[in-house]
Amino acid sequence: MTRLADCRISDPADFGRVALLVGGESAEREVSLDGGECVAGALKRRGVRFEVYDGTPDLFDAILARRIDRVFNLMHGPGGEDGAIQGALQLMKVPVTGSGVLGSALSMDKVRSKWVLERLAIRTAPFERTGARDDDAARIIERFGLPLFVKPAGLGSSIGVSRVERAEELPAAIELAAGYGEEVIVEPGIEGDEYFAGILGRTPLPLIRIETPRAFYDYEAKYHSDDTRYFCPAGLEPALEQRLQSEALAAFDALGAAGWGRVDFILDGQQRAWFLEVNTAPGMTDHSLVPQAAAAIGVDFDELVWRILETSL
């Protein structure tokens, strides 16, 4: 069974004055705000002194006025999860939860993160880089066949992601993804079940397997659908689960991630993991995966929030 180290902090006063950073201006704003409400409730119940900041301008003013001792970062996407806020806080000497500049920036960039995984022989789907141009479509289909997945290279929460079943759908899917950033990646669809490995400190949490009646685990399935099914325990043999947890932690480490996060992968019919991405500030809503995995080993939501806050130490 997964076991976590004992907490290092017992008195909420030891955290000082905490800024809970949410919202921002990315396409993942609403997910961040929803999770922020849940985290704020946990901090309040645990007696942590905190204030909520929507985006960075007011946060920076509060830091300069010496009203903030540390930041609980739950701002997703560009600006919050890509190394920008981590770099600013590093220069201001304010500790922040989760990964630092390198781990955040590299994990957010799907192109460069996949290059690193490939270099280290960590299995990830082959891909093509493209943009809002139709002339790439025929070459990509010739290389990979169908189905395909088309994704913005620098965004999460499955925003702007399409599953392409027919050749004529590819140009529109590329155009949609390009609306969220200039760089787009196209990958072949890998047959298998989708799994998620939460990471807390140096500990991989129990794996979660999902089932959805939708074409894939898209934004609707993640945040709104009541038809998505979550399995934790995931139904794997213990030895296989332990191997996959170790591989997930290796992918997490390869991208320089730290503190807490989530590693997503497809398990194919030969029990090989194909790593999709590393998330350095996963969702914390009532549909979110890391809280579900933590609960499976007796760590309730409030305790999980506390332990994530400890990663700022």
**For 170-228, how does the pLDDT look when each residue is reduced to its tens digit (9 = 90+)?**
999 999 999 988 899 999 999 999 999 999 999 999 999 999 776 666 556 556 567 88
Q: If you average pLDDT over residues 118-136, what whole number do you get?
A: 86
264 is catalytic: yes
Is pLDDT above 80 for 234? yes
Q: Are residues 254 and 111 in the same domain?
A: yes
Selecting among 157, 162, 288, 312, the annotated active-site residue is 157
Query: Of the residues 53, 180, 219, 223, which is catalytic?
Result: 223
CATH number at residue 133: 3.30.1490.20
Q: pTM here?
A: 0.91
**223 in active site:** yes
Q: Are residues 179 and 237 in the same domain?
A: no
Q: What is the pLDDT of residue 220?
A: 62
Domain boundary among 144, 173, 188: 188
Q: Specify if 168 maps to a domain.
A: yes
Active-site residue identified among 160, 277, 307, 312: 277
Average pLDDT over residues 97-117: 97
Nearby residues of 70 by Cβ (< 8 Å), 6 or more positions away: 15, 16, 17, 18, 19, 94, 95, 96, 97, 309, 312
Q: Is residue 221 domain-resident?
A: yes
User: Residue 1: which pLDDT band, with cuts at 50, 70 and 90?
Assistant: very low
The verdict on 119 and 165 lying in the same domain is no
Whether 5 is in a domain gets the answer no
Q: Please, which pLDDT band fits residue 276 given cuts at 50, 70 and 90?
A: very high
Task: Inform me whether the pLDDT recorded for 241 exceeds 80.
Answer: yes
* Distance, C-alpha 180 to centroid of its chain: 17
| Co-location of 167 and 228 in the same domain | no
Active site residue 279: yes
Catalytic residue selected from 279, 288, 307, 312: 279
Q: Is 241 a catalytic residue?
A: no
Query: Which among 283, 307, 310, 312 is annotated as catalytic?
Result: 283
**Are residues 153 and 139 in contact, defined by beta-carbon separation less than 8 angstroms?**
no
Residue 234 structural domain: 107-123+190-310
Whether 157 is a known active-site residue: answer yes
* Residue 66 and residue 26 share a domain: yes
The CATH number linked to 80 is: 3.40.50.20
- 169 and 261 share a domain? no
Over residues 82-109, the mean pLDDT reads 97
End of a domain among 139, 154, 188? 188
Catalytic residue of the set 82, 241, 247, 264 = 264
8 Å CB contact between 290 and 198 = yes
- Residue 4 resides in a domain: no
Number of domains in the chain: 3
Mean pLDDT throughout 131-154? 85
- Give domain status of residue 76, yes or no: yes
Residue 262 near residue 279, CB atoms below 8 Å: yes
* Residue 19, domain member (yes or no): yes
Whether 26 contacts 59, CB under 8 Å:
no
User: 23-32, pLDDT tens digit by residue?
Assistant: 999 888 999 9
Q: What is the CATH number of the domain that holds 206?
A: 3.30.470.20
Same domain, 247 and 257: yes
- State which of 169, 188, 207 marks the end of a domain: 188
Task: State whether 282 and 203 are in the same domain.
Answer: yes
Whether residue 7 is contained in a domain is answered as no
Catalytic residue at 237? Answer: no
pLDDT of residue 155: 79
**Do 245 and 306 sit in the same domain of this protein?**
yes
The neighbouring-strand residues paired with 273 are: 267
User: Do 214 and 306 have their domain in common?
Assistant: yes
Looking at residue 7, its pLDDT comes to 57
d(CA 305, CA 160) in angstroms, rounded, equals 29
Active site residue 28: yes
pLDDT digits (tens, 9 = 90+) for 27-79: 889 999 999 999 999 999 999 999 999 999 999 999 999 999 999 999 998 99
Identify whether residues 90 and 118 lie together within a single domain.
no
Share of the chain above pLDDT 90, in %: 81
* Same domain membership, residue 263 and residue 115: yes
Q: Are strands 193-200 and 148-152 parallel, antiparallel or unpaired?
A: unpaired
Query: Does the residue 36 lie in any domain?
Result: yes
Candidate list 70, 81, 156, 262, residue with the active-site label: 262
**Alpha carbon 158 to chain centroid, angstroms:** 10
Average pLDDT, the chain: 92
Cis upstream peptide for 152 (omega within 30°) = no
Catalytic residue (one of 28, 187, 194, 310): 28
